[in-house]
């Protein structure tokens, strides 16, 4: 007891006693076994078959970190470094191989075993239903462009709640729903590689509708948990206080943040975004019944993913009349002079962004219960930091986390309802087209040694943070 009290006195930033400490991952990025035990094909499995050259070093989703086979070992490591919570996703195509129809009993057993193992180690499972991994059979029907697929997702969600809801009390409908819109339908970094703003709008609208329908299903089952959504909120900072720069920032925020934040929390889409879509002739196909479902099925809990800021300025050149319609016809990107950079990844580091997001949620979104569901520092070539004892000395990651936690703590002190912090990610994992290019984990995965796991210095550091409930 005296030792504990002594530790507490050494803590400059103390967090609430029930704070959620842990990490996040996703099925496709972590499980492996992409074609094993009855799993159906998802869009990443298919795309890798078609164009393996687009994936870093030609590494595909079958060669991920092998959590499917090694989950017991991995969960023991989570406990060892202090996790009290862990977010993962269910693979829709593993659970229901064709997206609809028969449920895969081996998948049910796997997810039940993972949940049970987490609970055995006093780690609360946070379960996300969709993390970029549309079943290929449903993508062939149009993916999120299709209202039929929205209904298939609603049924999939309902099945998950029935199967696992007695033990899982934190559910999330989507992770970063803006990303498949951007990647798959605007900027060509996700399948189906479409560049079409009209289709992108339909995808975004149907994704939001699917989230609301899943929430409706959850509440119909009267389970005693919480259901939310995970959004990558990226503050849009203007170059200056010039009205034109401020307007550019407001529009960027409407497209990339408020497009999902407002309907998820408030049940309504941003008026300024709707005004643009109407004026430009890009309103999605919708029904008033579905709009009412969105309006009445808002989230209990919000996950916040934050990595870097978005900096914008007013357009400096007119858009060519024949250019495809894109959000950035209303603003230009801006590189702030003197910005701090993650030189290993190429992203700006701006720790105060996490505070600005949280204060915005307090002031403009009813101080909704929220947590930092992803934050992290990717490093290319991280093996160069492995010392003679075999430990990766990632002091840069420790500093990154510390600096973001300081601003999170400041938000807490100012009354923000923030409940936890999850790093992306527990162990180095496969990351879409980048594969294993950038490493993010508390635990290294050595692909040359059969996926050998080694706790990094940051993993030992976070263990002490959790023990002290601060630093």
Please tell me the distance from the alpha carbon of residue 218 to that of residue 471, in angstroms, as a whole number.
38
Q: How far lies 67's CA from each of 30, 35, 305, in Å? A: 6, 14, 23
The set of catalytic residues is: 176, 374
The DSSP H or E segment spanning 130 is none
Neighbour count for residue 76 (Cβ, 10 Å) = 12
How far apart, in whole angstroms, are the C-alpha atoms of residue 240 and residue 225? Answer: 44
32, 47, 83, 148, 431 from 61: Cα distances, Å: 6, 10, 26, 27, 9
Q: How far apart are CA 373 and CA 88, in angstroms?
A: 11
CA torsion angle for 311, 316, 321, 322 (degrees, to 10)? Answer: -50
Task: Assess contact for 133 and 190: CB atoms under 8 A.
Answer: no
Q: How far apart are CA 319 and CA 316, in angstroms?
A: 9
- The structure tokens 């603003």 sit at 331
- Distances from the Cα of 292 to the Cαs of 154, 172, 263, 269, 448, in angstroms? 16, 21, 11, 12, 53
Q: Tell me the helices (H) and strands (E) count for the chain, helix number first.
A: 17, 17
Q: Residues near 55 by Cβ (< 8 Å), separated by ≥ 6?
A: 48, 433, 435
Do 422 and 372 touch, CB atoms closer than 8 A? yes
Q: Which two tokens stand for residue 422?
A: 């999850």
**Interatomic CA distance for residues 456 and 397, integer angstroms:** 10
Read off the tokens for 107. Answer: 């998948």
Q: How many residues does the chain have?
A: 471
**Tokens encoding 391:** 């430990």
Pairing status of strand 332-333 against strand 310-313: antiparallel
Distance in angstroms (rounded) separating the CA atoms of residues 178 and 259: 8
Contacts of 274 by beta carbon, 8 Å cutoff, 6+ apart: 283
């Amino acid at each position: 007891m005296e030792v504990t009290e002594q530790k507490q006195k050494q803590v400059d930033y103390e967090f609430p006693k029930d704070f959620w400490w842990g990490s996040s991952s996703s099925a496709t990025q972590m499980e492996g076994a992409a074609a094993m035990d009855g799993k159906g094909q998802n869009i990443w499995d298919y795309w890798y078959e078609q164009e393996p050259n687009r994936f870093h070093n030609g590494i595909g989703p079958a060669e991920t970190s092998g959590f499917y086979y090694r989950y017991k070992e991995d969960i023991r490591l989570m406990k060892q470094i202090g996790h009290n919570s862990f977010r993962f996703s269910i693979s829709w195509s593993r659970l229901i191989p064709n997206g609809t129809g028969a449920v895969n009993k081996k998948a049910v057993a796997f997810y039940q075993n993972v949940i049970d193992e987490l609970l055995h180690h006093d780690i609360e499972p946070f379960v996300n239903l969709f993390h970029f991994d549309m079943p290929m059979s449903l993508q062939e029907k149009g993916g999120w462009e299709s209202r039929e697929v929205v209904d298939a997702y609603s049924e999939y969600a309902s099945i998950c709640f029935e199967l696992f809801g007695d033990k899982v009390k934190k559910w999330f409908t989507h992770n970063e729903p803006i990303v498949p819109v951007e990647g798959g339908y605007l900027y060509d970094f996700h399948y189906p590689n479409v560049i079409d703003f009209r289709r992108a709008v339909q995808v975004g609208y149907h994704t939001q509708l699917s989230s609301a329908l899943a929430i409706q299903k959850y509440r119909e089952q009267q389970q005693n948990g919480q259901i939310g959504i995970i959004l990558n909120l990226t503050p849009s900072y203007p170059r200056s206080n010039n009205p034109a720069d401020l307007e550019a920032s407001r529009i960027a925020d409407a497209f990339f943040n408020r497009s999902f934040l407002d309907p998820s929390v408030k049940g309504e889409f941003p008026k300024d975004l709707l005004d643009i879509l109407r004026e430009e002739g890009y309103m999605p196909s919708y029904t008033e019944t579905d709009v009412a479902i969105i309006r009445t099925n808002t989230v209990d809990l919000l996950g916040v993913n934050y990595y870097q800021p978005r900096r914008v300025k007013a357009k400096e050149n007119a858009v060519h009349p024949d250019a495809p319609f894109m959000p950035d016809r209303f603003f230009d990107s801006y590189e702030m002079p003197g910005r701090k950079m993650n030189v290993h990844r190429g992203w700006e580091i701006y720790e105060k962004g996490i505070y600005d997001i949280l204060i915005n949620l307090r002031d403009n979104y009813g101080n909704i219960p929220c947590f930092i569901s992803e934050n992290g520092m990717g490093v290319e070539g991280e093996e160069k930091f492995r010392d003679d004892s075999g430990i990766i000395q990632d002091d840069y990651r420790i500093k990154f986390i510390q600096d973001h936690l300081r601003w999170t703590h400041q938000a807490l002190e100012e009354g923000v309802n923030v409940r936890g912090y999850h790093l992306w990610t527990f162990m180095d994992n496969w990351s879409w087209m980048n594969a294993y290019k950038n490493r993010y984990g508390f635990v290294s995965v050595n692909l040359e040694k059969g996926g050998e796991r080694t706790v990094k210095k940051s993993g030992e550091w976070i263990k002490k943070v959790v023990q002290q409930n601060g630093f």
